[in-house]
Amino acid sequence: MKLRTSFLFGCLIFLVGCNAAPGTWGWYVIDPRTPAGYNNIRFLLNGFGATILLSVIAAAMSMIVGMLVALPGMSSNRWVRLPSRIYIEFVRAIPLLPMLFWVFYGLPVVLKSMGISVSIDAFWGAIITLAISDSAFTAEIYRSGIQSIAKGQTEAAKTVGLNYMQTMRYVILPQAIRRILPPLANQFIYIVKMSAFASVIGMQELTRRANELVVTEYRPLEIYSLLILEYLVLVLIISFFVRWLERKMGSDESR
């Protein structure tokens, strides 16, 4: 349904563009039938690689960091809980763009003053920012998922001799994962979209390429329309994959 609507909407824009008076629409910039248009569209589509790689690595890191933050965050000891709470409240409060600038321009200076001399390129700067920024949300998703598993499960695991890590691994997480999956997928979509910010520090992903082409071709409407379509396709693929995953998990573990 969603797909059909978007498709019709896209066709409508295209038809309007074709029939409008000269000077308002100009699809020729990305018309693959002309050599220039073909080159342009290839240039734009080549951004997929960077956007996907950026999002996937950042999401994977965010899932790991999120777990490391979430687990102590559920301790019964408030002093163990505290650092995790502070991390979440602090990171969650920083807007992505300022954080990106801070990591890209500021972090190398901080590291250098500590005697560590590394340069952070746009790719890793963007990944670190996206991963950290997202990890606070991932951590809260884990926490709510894990805490939604009945307390009796932990108690039963204790009485059959399992320690904390075993209880998590064999009893709680396998049950929590199905409840965590939908909000986690949401977060992944969010990362894909936020990866557009990497364009401002010079990362040549989808948005950056669109911006660069707009500067040379002066056709913002057509190029940004295509850009929006590119993200739409990515997000629809993710949605489809997650639905498939949910169905698969639902079938082999009855509840």
Residues forming the site for another protein (CB under 8 A): 150, 152-153, 155-163, 166, 170-171, 174-175, 253-255
Q: Give me the torsion for CA of 53, 57, 63, 64, rounded to 10°.
A: 170
Residues 11-44, buried b or exposed e (16+ Cβ, 10 A)?
A: eebeeeeeeeeeeebbbebbeeeeeebeebbeeb
Q: Are 249 and 181 in contact (CB under 8 A)?
A: yes
Integer Cα distance of 153 and 147 in angstroms = 11
Helices (H), the chain: 2-19, 35-45, 47-73, 78-93, 96-101, 107-113, 122-147, 151-159, 164-166, 173-194, 206-217, 220-252
- Of the pair 2, 151, the CB lying nearest another protein is at 151
Provide, rounded to whole angstroms, the least separation between the CB of residue 255 and another protein: 6
How near is the Cβ of 94 to another protein at its closest, in Å?
37
Of 162 and 221, CB closest to another protein: 162
Nearer to another protein by C-beta: 89 or 155? 155
H-run or E-run covering 20: none
Q: Which of 153/186 has CB closer to another protein?
A: 153
Residues 6+ apart with CB under 8 A from 8: none
35 versus 152: smaller Cβ distance to another protein: 152
Q: How far is the CB of 153 from another protein (least distance, A)?
A: 6
- State the minimum distance, in angstroms, from the CB of residue 157 to another protein: 8
Least Å from the CB of residue 169 to another protein: 9
Taking the least distance from each CB to another protein, the nearer of 5 and 159 is 159
Nearest to 191 by CA among 52, 45, 48, 50: 52
